[in-house]
A and B are shown apart, each in its own frame.
Chain A
Amino acid sequence: MSHSETEALDVESIRDEFPILDREFDGTPLVYLDNAATSQTPDQVIDSISHYYRHYNANVHRGLHQLSQEASIAYEEAHDRVAEFIGASGGRKEVVFTKNTTESMNTVAYAWGLAELGPGDEVVLTEMEHHAALVTWQQIAKKTGATVKFVEVDEDGRLDMDHARELITDDTEMVSVVHVSNTLGTVNPVSELADIAHDHDSLIFVDGAQSVPHMPVDVEAIDADFFAFSGHKMCGPTGVGVLYGKEHLLDAMQPYLYGGMMIEKVTFEDSTWHELPWKFEAGTPVISEGIALAEACDYLDSIGMERVHRHGTELAAYAYDRLQEFDDIEILGPGGDERAALVSFDMDDVHAHDVSEILNANGVAVRAGDHCTQPLHDKLGVSASTRASFYIYNTREEVDALVDALDQARELFA
């Protein structure tokens, strides 16, 4: 499948590659709009997992037998493939497979943060951080005596960059910022934030859980020191996430988890560590999931990330325009053409959980709650919101189905 980067997606053919999209509930077709939580999985990726277990399932690194060699090569090359996907020129040495974005965050927080942070040091986050970053740095700061500060979100749901320039100082050791807000849909100027951080000799960790699945990402163009994302939001399987780190930084860090696979030489007294990235992958790693993640990168590249991006933003803009027609709906975050592929909103008189229950009765799957950004919801004065998030297989008709189901909620609660 090869397409020009300007051609629109052939959504019907894409939908044929996702068997789950055929599901119906009592004759009502599934309208899956919860992609920011997890994306669906194409045949190509499902087949890669099945092929692994049917043909070359074995433990990696240590076996000399044929199956182990095949599994080892595929697993190691998966790191190179993922590195290529995000523009990490150091290849596998800069790509650690973890469980998810949260574990990637914790790996740096424990391995780097516990060693480097102390009283007087500051970690700068934003008010729109996912709990993955917020709770992790908050707790690491408690352990180390460091201080956590938050860049404010303005009324339109964008970062206050003047406040960012004020907060990031020579006391800042780490700036941890979400690339795309999973609640507001805001795309943050991470490259500019990286420049500000580096001007003050701080490192920057970019949470790319909502960006890598949806837009071309080049970690070196951003100049991120660390970057994290999850496989299951980008057509890959659950259970595998990625931590990218600049090689010299990962090299200088001590491991976070100890055990098998991550060692070079072990005596009763001491141990030395395996080379990158394996020193951060203790125990039997996520073999089939890592290989399937590389397959997901192939799948997305076959469509073209520019086109994936355009399709998602066009659907979000369409959803934004349609939802804006209603006086009883308040949309969180910036305007239509500036947002990523999601729209969160609050409906007057109908709680988000009731909204999502009624949408569910119409086959429409959305997320309701605080989307793991509880402090942001507190700041916005919204206890819970409803989020519709889009991907390559969604259509305008599905956005219309969402709007029609909201009408039903409005009538019930009128």
Chain B
Amino acid sequence: MGLGGSDMYRQQILDHYKSPRNYGEIEEPTFTHVGENPMCGDTIEMDVVLDDAEETIERVAFRGDGCAISQASASMLSEQLHGMSIEELDEMDRDDVVDMLGVDISPMRVKCAVLAEKVAQDGADIYFGELDVETTRTEEDDADVPDDAQ
């Protein structure tokens, strides 16, 4: 069995973690949404501005706290979301997030990696009336192994 681990911390991940892109707030966003990993304490809050037709993402800003994977993923996603259609956002899944990160994510850390993506998707779904939750929570079904043992 290999240990992976340090391979996860390639330069790109560390760069986005230390210098997150689009970090901050947008003053009148089309919608804002917040999510967390209750087990890890990672949080991401994201502001999104849509175009007038409400079909395409024009601007994104986020702030948050947590591990390098969760924060770097939010930073990289914030860049990727610019110009993306709501339909494309909807179709994103965990494989797309892992591809975006460009590193192997260990099973226990998948829920850190997908937090930002789920915040963006849930935020859009709430805005379009397709979902009714206050906070997005990544739970066991986002990881292969629960992070709950003592």
Q: Assess whether A353 is interfacial by the CB under 8 Å rule.
A: yes
Are B67 and A28 in contact (CB-based, < 8 A)? no
- Number of residues from B at the complex interface, CB < 8 A: 26
B149 at interface (Cβ–Cβ under 8 A)? yes
Annotate A248-261 by CB proximity to B: 1 below 8 A, 0 otherwise: 00000000000000
For residue A218, CB closer than 8 A to chain B, the reply is: no
Query: Of the candidates A352, A369, A412, which one forms a contact with B9 in the assembled complex, judged by CB atoms under 8 Å apart?
Result: A412
Residues 206-227 of chain A, each 1 if its beta carbon lies under 8 Å from chain B, else 0? 0000000000000000000000
Q: Which 4 A-B pairs have the closest CB atoms?
A: A361-B5, A383-B41, A351-B67, A361-B6
- Which single member of B14, B66, B147 contacts A412 (CB below 8 Å)? B14
**Residue in A closest to B10 when the chains form the complex, CB atoms:** A412
- Whether, in the assembled complex, A144 has its beta carbon less than 8 Å from a beta carbon of chain B, the answer is no
One of A26, A351, A358, A361 near B66 (C-beta < 8 A) = A351
Given the contacts A351-B67, A353-B112, A413-B14, A370 and B4 also touching, CB distance less than 8 Å: no
Contact A408 B3 (CB under 8 A): no
Q: How far is the CA of A351 from the CA of B14 in the complex (A)?
A: 12
Residues from chain A with a CB closer than 8 A to the CB of B147 are 369
Cα distance A197–B149 when bound, in Å? 32
B150 to chain A, nearest CB (A): 5
CB contacts under 8 Å to B, within A357-383, are: 357-358, 360-363, 369-372, 383
What B residues does A350 contact at CB under 8 A? 68
Most-contacted residue by chain A among B8, B14, B40 (CB, 10 A)? B40
Chain A residues whose CB sits within 8 angstroms of the CB of B41 once the complex forms: 370, 383-384
Q: Does B100 contact A (CB under 8 A)?
A: no
B94 within 8 A of A: no
Within the complex, what minimum Cβ distance (angstroms) separates B43 from chain A? 9
Chain A residue nearest in CB terms to B39: A369
Contacts of B9 in A (CB 8 A): 354, 357-358, 412
- Which residues of chain A are within 8 angstroms of B2 by Cβ–Cβ distance? 25-26
| A25 partner residues in chain B, CB cutoff 8 A | 1-3
Interface size of A by CB at 8 A reads 27
Q: Which residue of B lies closest to A28 (CB)?
A: B3
Whether B67 lies near A412 (C-beta < 8 A) is no
By a CB distance below 8 angstroms, the chain A residues around B63 are none
Instruction: Return the CB mask of B6-27 against A: 1 if under 8 Å, else 0.
Output: 1111000010011000000000
Q: Which residues of A lie under 8 Å from residue B49 when comparing CB positions? A: none
Q: Which of B1, B4, B7, B40 is in CB contact (< 8 Å) with A353?
A: B40
The answer to whether B3 and A363 touch across the interface, beta carbons within 8 angstroms, is yes
Contact B3 A413, beta carbon cutoff 8 Å: no
B105-133 CB contacts (< 8 Å) to partner A:
106, 109, 112
By a CB distance below 8 angstroms, the chain A residues around B7 are 361
Q: Does A37 lie at the interface of the complex (its beta carbon under 8 Å from any beta carbon of B)?
A: yes
Q: Which residues of A contact B106 (CB under 8 A)?
A: 357
Looking across the interface, which residue of chain B has its beta carbon closest to that of A367?
A: B150
Are A369 and B40 closer than 8 Å at their CB atoms?
yes
B65 within 8 A of A: yes
Given A353-B40, A361-B4, A361-B5, residue A37 in contact with residue B149 (CB < 8 A)? yes
10 additional A-B pairs beyond A25-B3, A369-B40, A384-B41, beta carbons within 8 Å, are: A351-B68, A353-B69, A354-B67, A354-B69, A358-B5, A361-B6, A383-B41, A412-B6, A412-B14, A413-B14
